[in-house]
Amino acid sequence: MLADFVRSLARKHQAEIEARRPKVMRRVAGYNLDIFHNQNEKPYTSDGSVNLAHLLIGSEGTLAYTKSLTLKLSELPKSKVLGVVNFESFHAAMDSAQHIVKLGPCAVELVDRTMIDLALGNPAFRPTMETALINGTPAAILLVEFAGANKAELLPKLRQLVELMGDLGLPGSVVEMADDAPQKNLWEVRKAGLNIMMSLKGDGKPVSFIEDCAVPLEHLAEYTDALTEVFAKHGTRGTWYAHASVGTLHVRPILDMRVDGPEGGAAKMRAIGEEAAELVRKYKGAFSGEHGDGLCRGEWIEWQFGPAINDAFRAIKRQMDPLDLFNPGKIIDTPRMDDGALFRFAPASSGKPYKRIPITPALDWSAWNVNADPVTEEVSAPGTGGDVTGGFAKAVEMCNNNGTCRKFDAGTMCPSYRVTRDEQHLTRGRANTLRLTLSGQLGPDAFTSEEMHDTMDLCVGCKGCKRDCPTGVDMAKMKIEFLSHYKAKHGHTLKDKLIARLPDYAAQASQFSWLMNLRNSLPGAAWLGEKILGLSAKRSLPEWRSDTFWNMPEQDRALFSDQAATLAAARAGQKAAVLFVDTFNGTFETENALAAARVLKAAGYAVHTVEKGNGSHHCCGRTYLASGMVDEARERAGALIDALLPLAEAGVAVVGLEPSCLLTLRDEALVLGLGDKAVTVSGQALLFEEFIAREIKAGRFALKLRPAGKQILLHGHCHQKAFGAVTPIMEVLKLIPETQAELIESSCCGMAGSFGYEAKHHEVSMQMAEAALLPAIRKQPDAIVVADGTSCRHQIADGAQREAVHVARLLESLMA
């Protein structure tokens, strides 16, 4: 009965369907009434038969509820090769597509200049993008992929591509990639294309509403030129990427949807949409290519097909869903695409305009508080963006809901979500909740509420999102900002104060190490500590010791030069470094700091360290930041930077051991309002392994080592991963002869500073560790485990009953 009804509609409107249905390969709009008389470049079925299931393809859930699907699968190709064609003009890239497809590639994908620039500015993508470029930054690149049974048959295709580009006047424009790894890496960057585009700073963002238009390949260059002129007419430009081989380019003009009136985002959206539609009609294309109609293109269905076919679509909807239960408001009776009520950032004219609540931020977010000109690409000075939160809200709004943080296959982000599978405990969930509170949508006091605290609670501050998120959402820093406001309202607990002020009392406490260590040995002490402080009785705490780094014996002090001698050595062109010894390595694991000094000394470096005297030491402020005590962190970090400044100004590297402490100088210290001196010290701050790797590359480091005699397993600290500092460790481990080092592919270890010590977090902490890290260590019981993070080593000791060592200790133990 249903088949007869649909067939009768198709027969009635056959002439109209043939006249109006786009003939391009990519088109998905309305309902597929042409299944009886196919209008596509390819048939619906191989034998020309009618399968009514095709009526549901692209129907966006408006016609039926699907309980199960039977899919026809195709075998994946066994081999692939990739040619990356660099173009000096965007027009040349578009014009070349029609010629390239004649070589029979399986994909021709566009990456435009905007995406190239943004990828180069992202530390996670830059190394990969650089492998695809020739002689600087091109206007666009096309990724041309060939697939087949074996690579030997595909290599001639790459040569044909090179020859073709030479014939088209572009000799030497192709980067040939035959190996699988670089191909895979580049495709990962391309897959992140949209999210990379959304990392533009400022309130203007690439907006999707004409991003799905498809035109015949022979008109692609003309269409893109004309559409570029439309953008310029309306004071903006477009960002382009996607499927050049089928004429479907996902172009998004940059618009500020918050702005109202004739120059506002909604007005420009309407004008650009109408002019783009005329271009699509002129070049006989489709307004919806592959993404469907949804909210932003539904109103264009009648424009594309005419009122008669649109009425036929409505008849199908009423026949199959008479109560309008399935996804109402899509395809039939759709809203206007510029209806402000549908916008995330609604303008003032809408019923509920988006409006940020003023707050005074504790950290400096001014780098985000900018405006950007979409045409010139110029970004205004920091702090000029008009954000009443000082840029904090703009940083939060960088989350565009792309969901990269939901992945499990690689990277660090997001360890809490990997355990709980709860959107609340995801970078995206936290960003959305912050956005809603900062705009007053959850009430005037929501930002400092217990509910907001619960949302942020399981963020371990791993900084995985800082690197892995394509739009650079830095949730670790946002948690610091949140905690500063939350704690200002609700107060700090005794536990907060004890952890934050550890650097202040560590020297005194170490004098009574026997007393401090009773917590780990005296029956009932751990239980009492959990009741009073909330520190898990299931955890051992770091062992206090009286022989700290700052009261080392005289024979060890001989390892170090004073500041004057170190500066003199540096100015004379000799090798020098200043060793920044943090609270954790200096108080609890003195051997790590001394090992680092001995390694550097053996390699011929003058080594200095900064101290306060009287057994006390400088602190980076990390423990204070973790408790939301930003003012105290600023004071401690400022004092450390003042002590390091003369050496940094002389070009002496500041070498650190604990990733979270040293990297504070390269990250949070720059947003504490400490000025240019913080920038100077940051520029010289390197982790121990980063420094050695740099010196090896420069030909200044040599150290004779013995073979380790065992396999080495390396666990990277989350902050090392976030700052790309894991590769240097692997480079340093290559110094050890006849020894293999293996990197454990894992997310956060779960300890994350004090997080894993807390009773309420213990279970989650162990689940994070058991996801990959601890099983990998147990599989190799004889391997040497290297972990540079203090908390990482403690987690490994607690969870796997194995000792992990800092890379400095390993190198020292192997010195010949």
pLDDT tens track for 631-663: 999 999 999 999 999 999 999 999 999 999 999
Q: Tell me if domain 1-60+201-348 and domain 79-197 are identical in fold.
A: yes
The torsion angle over the Cα atoms of residues 722, 725, 726 and 727, rounded to 10 degrees, is 130
Q: From CA 564, how far away is CA 217, in angstroms rounded?
A: 70
Q: Are 250 and 212 in contact (CB under 8 A)?
A: yes
Instruction: Name residues whose C-beta falls within 8 Å of residue 43's C-beta, 6 or more positions apart in sequence.
Output: none
Tell me how many helices (H) and strands (E) the chain has: 38, 17
DSSP character for 103? G
Q: Calculate mean pLDDT across residues 77-98.
A: 96
The gap from C-alpha 158 to its chain's centroid, in whole angstroms, comes to 32
| pLDDT of res. 410 | 66
Residue 243, strand partner residues: 109, 248
pLDDT in tens, 440-499: 999 999 999 999 999 999 999 999 998 888 888 999 999 999 999 999 999 999 999 999
- Supply the Cα-derived Rg of the chain in whole angstroms: 30
Residue 239, strand partner residues: 252
Instruction: Name residues whose C-beta falls within 8 Å of residue 803's C-beta, 6 or more positions apart in sequence.
Output: 785, 793, 796, 797
Q: From CA 397, how far away is CA 432, in angstroms rounded?
A: 8
Residue 57: count of CB within 10 angstroms of its CB: 12
pLDDT in tens, 143-190: 999 999 999 999 999 999 999 999 999 999 999 999 999 999 999 888
Q: Calculate mean pLDDT across residues 274-303.
A: 90
Domain positions in the chain are: 1-60+201-348, 79-197, 392-490, 549-697, 712-813
Band of residue 69 on the pLDDT scale cut at 50, 70, 90: confident
Task: Give kind and range of the element (H or E) at residue 81.
Answer: strand 79-87
CATH class of 79-197: alpha beta
Cis peptide bond N-terminal to 414, omega within 30:
yes
Band of residue 43 on the pLDDT scale cut at 50, 70, 90: confident
- The tokens describing 293, both together, are 């109609």
User: At how many degrees (to 10) do helices 630-649 and 676-684 cross?
Assistant: 60
pLDDT higher than 90, residue 72: no
| pLDDT of res. 732 | 97
- The tokens describing 748, both together, are 């956060």
Q: Among the listed ranges 394-408, 418-432, 735-749, 772-786, which one has the minimum average pLDDT value?
A: 394-408
Q: Are 551 and 581 in contact (CB under 8 A)?
A: no
| pLDDT of res. 376 | 87
Mean pLDDT of the chain: 93
Q: Calculate mean pLDDT across residues 231-258.
A: 90
Q: Calculate mean pLDDT across residues 406-430.
A: 90
Q: From CA 430, how far away is CA 413, in angstroms rounded?
A: 13
Yes or no: is domain 712-813 CATH 3.10.450? no
Q: Calculate mean pLDDT across residues 26-32.
A: 88
Q: From CA 802, how far away is CA 796, in angstroms rounded?
A: 6
193 or 65: whose pLDDT is higher? 65
- The tokens describing 674, both together, are 């400490």
| pLDDT of res. 409 | 74
Range picked from 374-378, 407-411, 575-579 for highest mean pLDDT:
575-579
Using alpha carbons, list the distances in angstroms from residue 634 to 581, 666, 668, 671: 18, 14, 9, 9
Regarding the domain delimited by 1-60+201-348, which CATH topology (the fold level of the hierarchy) does it fall under?
Alpha-Beta Plaits (3.30.70)
Could you give the count of Cα atoms lying within 13 Å of 423 in the half-sphere of its Cβ?
7
Q: From CA 506, how far away is CA 617, in angstroms rounded?
A: 9
Q: Are 315 and 247 in contact (CB under 8 A)?
A: no
